[in-house]
Amino acid sequence: MPDIRYVVISDMHLGEEDSVLTCLREGNWQINWREASPTLISLVECLRYLIKQNQSKTKPTLILLGDILEFALATDNEAAMGFERFIELIMPRKKKMFNRIFYVPGNHDHHLWESARETQYVEHVMGLSPGSELDIPWHTTNMFMESEPPLTNYFLTRLIQRYPGLKRFVIATAYPNFGLITPNRDKCVVLHHGHYVESLYLLMSVLKRKLFPEKPEPEVIWDIEGENFAWIDFFWSMAGRSGEVGKDMEMVYEKMNNPERFRDFLMERAEMIADKEDIPWIPGDWAEEKMLKALATYLAERAAGIERGRRKKALDDEGIESFKKYVSRPVKLQIANDLKGPVPRDVTFVFGHTHKPFEETMQFDGYPAPLKVYNTGGWVVDTEEAAPVMGGALILLDENLDAVSLRMYNESQSEGDYKVKVAAASPAGAQPTPFYLRMLGLVDAGRNPWKSFSETVAKEVKHRAARPRQ
């Protein structure tokens, strides 16, 4: 019978008070760093139950698909303590759940990639003789690197090696695309956090084309990351360590999730700046205000286009177009480059970032068959009103790289709607995989641990939704 070989989770946002996986103190909205959240405890219990059903003694691999630690809206120590509580649950000394952990950073924890790649480059330089020509620092890893010596995530590895039983455990890093492939190379899974499916994270490339229209648009992933890494790291992965500025950025970020509120905020700031500041190259306060409001309108429109903020569909038309552009070019080119051969006939693509879990088949240019696409959802409650399209999921893979989505929850006004279910992306007319059927038989929404999880997360989502927002 098929066993769970890989577990994929993303967008935990550990350290952010809006995450149901971050523990809050009873009676207020402050974070309790000493304890794991009830939802996190219950989630791990569900996962432990499933893994115990494996027939093989080989422990599965955990893939952390980005935005696991919150560096944009929390400080390093806050995010790290949230991660420690997670590690304590999944990797206790005598009951470790996983034999390996791969970390694929996203936009909110992009700085972990910068730290890893800079450490790797320094170690590379140390192996060269003085006076040698130095290579240009690289910005990506190979896609299919599971069997290679691990590129160590230095910060998290050193963090967890303080625990008994983990003194030699290494958390490996891959970025921005991580691939798994069968021995005969006819089937693969590509995992990416998901930020590069949105134009907002390609801002530097967009500006370059506006300033230098003769320059070509980057198509390969190492050029895309090389042009945009500093912007992503600056705004989305470093604000939390910026003291009072970081707190102000949290207020701005929260408003971005409500386009109307964000536009009002920007307009208010534009009027304030025009009234109090003098921009020497613009004559008159009225001209300053007009220009600043035009800029505010542009930013508000961009914020309204963030996929995470669109709460009616899992992916709208603009999101699908941007998504297909990324998968049809940079992802396809990297698969072919790293395999030194054709794209496998059977490809599954897994991403997060949008906090909207789904599973479906989609056709992309350059692929021999429709892709099976899965989104891992997220664990953050952004707004007061429940949005049924928002929720959290785990993606499970067996040794044959067949995938299922363990849909842990979707937001709802009614606590009775919170029920765990198993889903899969399946082409029309295809028979369910043995792995899907096995997971379906193991998950009974009306019994524990699944029922207990649903009751817990329903209360936690409602509690987070009630948190006062600026």
Does residue 244 belong to any structural domain of this protein?
Answer: no
- Tell me, yes or no, whether 149 and 295 share the same domain: no
When divided into structural domains, the chain yields a total of 2
End-of-domain residue from the set 304, 333, 361 = 304
The pLDDT of residue 174 is above 90:
yes
- Tell me, yes or no, whether 276 and 220 share the same domain: no
What CATH number is attached to the domain comprising 420?
Answer: 3.60.21.10
Does residue 371 belong to any structural domain of this protein?
Answer: yes
Helices (H) and strands (E) in the chain, counts: 13, 12
Distance between CA 224 and CA 302 in Å, rounded? 20
pLDDT of residue 298: 47
pLDDT mean over 245-259: 53
- Tell me, yes or no, whether 297 and 316 share the same domain: no
Q: What mean pLDDT value characterizes the chain?
A: 87
Does residue 379 belong to any structural domain of this protein?
Answer: yes
Of 133-147, 194-208, 379-393, give the lowest mean pLDDT range. 194-208
The pLDDT of residue 194 is above 90:
yes
- Tell me, yes or no, whether 188 and 298 share the same domain: no
What is the chain's length?
470
pLDDT, one tens digit per residue, over 54-75 is 999 999 999 999 999 998 888 8
Q: What is the widest separation between alpha-carbon atoms in the chain? A: 75
Of 161-165, 300-304, 398-402, give the lowest mean pLDDT range. 300-304
Distance between CA 153 and CA 166 in Å, rounded? 14
pLDDT of residue 245: 46
pLDDT mean over 98-110: 96
Does residue 90 belong to any structural domain of this protein?
Answer: yes
End-of-domain residue from the set 267, 284, 304 = 304
Distance between CA 386 and CA 461 in Å, rounded? 9
Does residue 156 belong to any structural domain of this protein?
Answer: yes
Q: Which residues of 67-100 are buried (b: 16+ CB within 10 A; e: fewer)?
A: bbbbbbbbbeebbbbbbbbbbebbbeeeeebbeb
pLDDT, one tens digit per residue, over 414-462 is 999 999 999 999 888 889 999 999 999 999 999 999 999 999 999 999 9
pTM over cut 0.85: yes
Does residue 1 belong to any structural domain of this protein?
Answer: no
- Tell me, yes or no, whether 56 and 173 share the same domain: yes
pLDDT of residue 244: 47
- Tell me, yes or no, whether 279 and 199 share the same domain: no
Does residue 332 belong to any structural domain of this protein?
Answer: yes
The pLDDT of residue 27 is above 90:
no
Domain range for residue 217? 6-231+311-465
pLDDT of residue 449: 98
- Of residues 42 and 296, which shows the higher confidence score? 42
Does residue 200 belong to any structural domain of this protein?
Answer: yes
- Tell me, yes or no, whether 146 and 292 share the same domain: no
pLDDT of residue 239: 56
- Tell me, yes or no, whether 136 and 275 share the same domain: no
In contact, 250 and 238? CB cutoff 8 Å: no
pLDDT of residue 281: 40
- Tell me, yes or no, whether 298 and 352 share the same domain: no
- Tell me, yes or no, whether 219 and 367 share the same domain: yes
pLDDT, one tens digit per residue, over 261-312 is 555 655 555 555 555 544 444 444 555 555 545 545 545 555 555 666 677 7
- Tell me, yes or no, whether 294 and 358 share the same domain: no
pLDDT, one tens digit per residue, over 72-89 is 888 889 999 999 999 999
- Of residues 345 and 306, which shows the higher confidence score? 345
Query: Cis omega (within 30 of 0) on the bond before 176?
Result: yes
Write the DSSP assignment of 259-270 as a string of letters.
HHHHHHHHHHHH
- Tell me, yes or no, whether 291 and 420 share the same domain: no
